[in-house]
Structure 1
Amino acid sequence: MDASKRDQAAGVRCVVLGASGFIGAHLTADLLSAGHRVRVLSRSGEHRFPPGVEVVPGDATDTEALRAVVRDADVVFHLIHSLSERDFAERDRLIAAGLCAAAAEAGVGQIVYLSGPRPIGRTSPHLASRSEVADILLSGEVPAAILQASLIVGEGSTGIEVLARIARLPVVPCPAWMRHRSRPVALADVRHYLRAVVDAVPVRGRLDLSGPEPVTYRELVRRCARVLRRPVPVMPPAVLWSHSLAARATELFTPVSKGVAAPLFASLEHDLLPVDTAAETILPHPPGGSPTLDNALREALSSPVRPPSEGPAHYGKHTLRTPVSADRVWQSIVGLGGHRQPFAPATAWALRGLLDQLIGGAGLYRGRPEHLRPGDVVDFWTVRSRDDQRRELVLTADMQLPGTVELTLRAEPAQDGTAFEQTVRFTPAGTLGTAYWYLQKPLHDLVFAQLARSIVDTAEHSRAGQSV
């Protein structure tokens, strides 16, 4: 069915193979919400699909079952990966060949396959099988869009489940393959691009789904620990740490079986970076842009930024007047952090970051995204809220402390320019927290006074421009 006919239809007739899986369940719900008709193939009557889903009983390796499920379909989503089966490569090869034949016979307009990155050179059996399935589908009569993602960051992802459990351990062996890189992509982006194919003209080819930054698996463990607000594990080099040992350890500490974990670990022997056409050059960008890696991890690990705990709080406040506009001061506020405009005084913050790292915290964690949104990381702070109308930015500290710290920065228009207000709110955790507040208060007042002065100075010496 071509795009013009789809636009006139009440809903696109979609088939989801693998609808009970991690991605399939989300996609099925998304397609129904968009008003499309959804049919699924189910090997067991035990799984309950949402109301409105047409269920065809059968197995994807059965030719007749495939013919029945793709009958009259416009788009078929192939999300089946038989990794838990010993003969997963042969099984997936059989399914791909059967789907090509059944889809061509039924006049399907588009096949969409969710795959891994296309391997270059030697690779693991898992990735080789994914790539082989993609080649089979691409050689078929029906246009096939191969969406390739290395690691999908979302709640329910096997890879994220493993990483989160590893990040909670005090010591994690670090073999050489943990230094390889990938471009993890948020579940929200994957769902967006899968839905986008439905409304596109038929697409044939490999499209890479990539997150905003390349990162090593070692760094991913550190980032998970930080998001979970746990001490970063000690990660000594481990020359003899094999995929088999890693899989056995995973089975001990996570719900993931060693049969599934072993081929996943074997896939990490090489960088898993995009090598084909970027999806966003063919399909529309996600509304609002892609989430940062930290935001995607936070969403996946169900660890939203928490407000300070209830209890008696202590405050430190600095107010400065400046003749420049409130918009200029606001630009300076939201530009704070990273190498471009580090927290001042830089030496004091660097020493505090080093101390935090030594006691198992996130450390200074220098860096920030280009445009700040709630949940983003700014050095060792996290954005709790951003209000552009009120020109107010609220940060919470990620450092190890006997309490919680909230930093509020605000630019208030005044008759002669702008009143910059900076408020630090410390909520102590018991007696130790209260003692900490009073012991460090003299130094605290000096450091935050200089921070306030630096924000205003930056506004006074910068040119007006767009807010970050």
Structure 2
Amino acid sequence: MLCLVTGATGYIGGRLAPRLLDAGHDVRCLSRSAGRLRDVPWSGRVEVVEGDLFDPDALRRAMAGVDVAYFLIHSLGRPDFEARDREAATVFAAAARDAGVGRIVYLGGPEPDPDDKPSAHLRSRAEVGRILLDSGVPTAVLRAPVIIGSGSASFEMLRYLTERLPAMVTPRWVSNRIQPIAVRDVLRYLIGAATLRPEVSRGFDIGGADVLTYAEMMQRYARVAGLPRRIIVPVRLLSPWLSAHWVGLITPVPNSIARPLVGSLIHEAVAHENDLAELLGGPAPLGFDESVRLALGKIRDADVETRWTSAAGRDAAAEPLPSDPDWSGGSIYVDERSRPVSAPPERLWRVIEGVGGENGWYSFPLAWSVRGWLDRLAGGVGLRRGRRDRDRLRVGEALDWWRVEEIEPGELLRLRAEMRVPGRAWLEMRAEATPEGGSVYRQRAIFLPRGLAGHLYWASVLPFHGIVFNGMARNITRTAETSDGERPVPAGASGGGA
């Protein structure tokens, strides 16, 4: 089948397109900027039509010959999102009908109890679903509650609130029941909905294996993330409006997005039927804890290059994508430095591979020693392990309080910290050749905080980074430039040198 995916640069669309391809379908994407899809790994496998839903020519080209059209866009974050989405759905429905599209698939939100006054967000989602169902084209409207996956705005709110607040006074909606669903299950249902019989045109509730209150979700998130149990005190004073500003203050999720999402949490979001799962068959949906583990990368080892998660056993659906907003994916602190080196990359590499142990760390030896002793007092390994070989390193071996995680000979050394810190840390050093015969030294220190203690730890050591890491970069490059091709003597290894 030929599938049209709108919103291919969005959270769901960017994950759906490659899975449709893997399922054997042809995929066409409608995007306002084709350049935003240029760097995704599946860009060469899809057809891209540049334009938006309000461009009649682009929409006509996008719909031509399409079997299934996915409506995955919304204007959340704009003050006029209700009117904008109403117009977009109306135009999309008419174009699909005129082009003879076989099916429309839409991902919406849960429908609140008719006796409740629905939030603007849920009211808009329901209205869009009705417009598409009235199009005359067979339509499947999937009603999803909180989606669990890195990059989902609802999940990011949960993540940041739980990680940053060991104790919190919360609004009363934290006692409302929710049936969260893993993003991988949402994608599976979206792909399966394309195969429904033509006479099936209706809405479907979808949800995960667990029904929890929001407070229970925060506690179970904390447990999976290895955080202490949170102290949660619900009060009646925090209105949805105040709650949204509170979320905006604590989390990096923009207030324009947090406000309608928080407004929706005043309604319970529990599936009233399981018809789509029964029609499609397949595995049971994941439970909350496993969904969070996938989103956090808890079932994988760390790897800095893929947002610090490795390919082994990964669930890419739950991981961040380059097209996700900057505030998604959790907090990541980076100290990044680079310096030009007149020496060739081979000589710079010898310095990089020689760090640690008796060779030293090229900057402020006293600070390294004190940090090592503090780590030992806290029950860590400190600096006492040294290194096995004075000149060579191997993947997996210990190096002082680091573990060698990755080596690309002549180019990259990546170390994973095994010191006692409230989070996970890496140090990465690179040697890059330049056309002039010299090289560039690149250095990154990366820290993924765990809980409020992790953020406070990074803030406490930040004033010393300019001394330690800047001195390290300067002395490594200086040593590479002044060595004569033999094993270099570290600058500052046994003195000041910072």
**TM-score over 0.5 for the alignment?**
yes
Contact 2:105 2:194 in 1 (8 A): no
Offset, 1:66:
2.1
Structure 2 counterpart of 1:66:
59
Contact kept, 8 Å, 1:196 with 1:284, in 2: the verdict is no
User: In the aligned structure 2, how far is the partner of 1:133 from the partner of 1:298?
Assistant: 33
Does residue 257 of structure 2 align to residue 268 of structure 1?
Answer: no
- The alignment status of 1:201 with 2:194, answered yes or no, reads no
Same amino acid, percent of matched pairs: 41
Task: Give CA deviations for 1:202-231 in whole Å, capped at 9, x if unaligned.
Answer: 331011111112100011111111111111
SS in 2 for 1:299: helix
> 1:435-450, aligned counterparts within 5 Å?
none
SS at the partner of 1:200?
coil
After TM superposition, give the deviation of residue 128 of structure 1 in Å.
0.4
CA distance in 2, matches of 1:208, 1:303: 28
Corresponding residue number in structure 1 for 2:187: 191
Q: Report the residue type matching 1:26 in the other structure.
A: R
Match for 1:290 among 285, 288, 296? 285
Query: Which residue does the alignment assign to 2:8?
Result: 19
Give the alignment's TM-score, normalised by structure 1: 0.61
Alpha-carbon separation, structure 1, partners of 2:35 and 2:248: 26
Deviations 1:236-293 (A, max 9, x none): 232222323332233333331001001100001121112355311222223xx32221
Please list the CA deviations of residues 429-460 of structure 1 after superposition, one character each: whole Å capped at 9, or x if unmatched: 99xxxxxxxxxxxxxxxxxxxxxxxxxxxxxx
Amino acid of the residue matched to residue 18 of structure 1?
G
Change (3 A) 1:216 1:113: same
Distance in 2 of aligned mates of 1:154 and 1:129? 23
Q: More displaced, 107-116 or 167-176?
A: 167-176
- Equivalent positions of 1:307-318 (< 5 A) are none
Letter in 2 for 1:160: F
Cα RMSD, aligned residues only: 2.2
Give the counterpart of 2:97 among 83, 104, 120.
104
Whole-angstrom CA distance in 1 between matches of 2:139 and 2:188: 18
Aligned partner of 2:21 among 27, 32, 37: 32
Q: Give 1:298 shift.
A: 0.9
Note the alpha carbon deviations across 1:55-74, whole angstroms, 9 max, x for none: 11112233333222111100
Q: Distance in 2 between matches of 1:190 and 1:240?
A: 35
Displacement, 1:306? 7.5
Q: Tell me which of 124, 134, 139 is aligned to 2:119.
A: 124
Residue aligning to 2:50: 57
Alignment check: 8 A CA contact 2:157 2:253 kept: yes
Instruction: Return the offset for 1:130.
Output: 0.3
Structure 1, gaps ≥5 residues long: 1-11, 308-400, 404-428, 431-468
Q: Taking structure 2 as the reference length, what is the TM-score of the superposition?
A: 0.57
Contact 1:144/1:205, CA 8 A, preserved across alignment: yes
Out of 278, 281, 292, which is 2:278 matched to?
281
Whole-Å Cα distance in 2 between the matches of residues 237 and 117 of structure 1? 24
Matched-pair contact (CA < 8 Å) for 1:250–1:257:
no
Please tell me whether residue 239 in structure 1 is matched to residue 236 in structure 2. yes
CA distance, structure 2, for counterparts of residue 22 and residue 28 of structure 1:
11
Q: Does 1:182 align with 2:178?
A: yes
- Equivalent residues in 2 for 1:110-149 (5 A)? 110-121=103-114, 122-149=117-144
Read off the aligned partner of 1:220 and give its amino acid letter: M
Post-superposition Cα deviations, 1:318-372, rounded to whole Å, max 9, x if no partner, equal: xxxxxxxxxxxxxxxxxxxxxxxxxxxxxxxxxxxxxxxxxxxxxxxxxxxxxxx
**Could you list the runs of 5+ residues in structure 2 that have no partner in the other structure?**
303-377, 381-418, 421-498
User: Does the aligned pair in 2 maintain the 1:150–1:184 contact within 8 Å?
Assistant: yes
| Alignment match of 1:213 (pick from 203, 210, 230) | 210
Q: Does 1:155 align with 2:150?
A: yes
One-letter code aligned to 1:162? M
Aligned partners of 1:34, 1:139: CA distance in 2, in Å? 29
Instruction: For 1:201, give the aligned amino acid.
Output: R
Q: Which residue matches 1:389?
A: none
Aligned partner of 1:80 in structure 2 is 73
Map of 1:43 onto structure 2: 32
Q: How many residues align?
A: 300
Q: In 1, are the aligned partners of 2:105 and 2:140 still within 8 Å (CA)?
A: yes
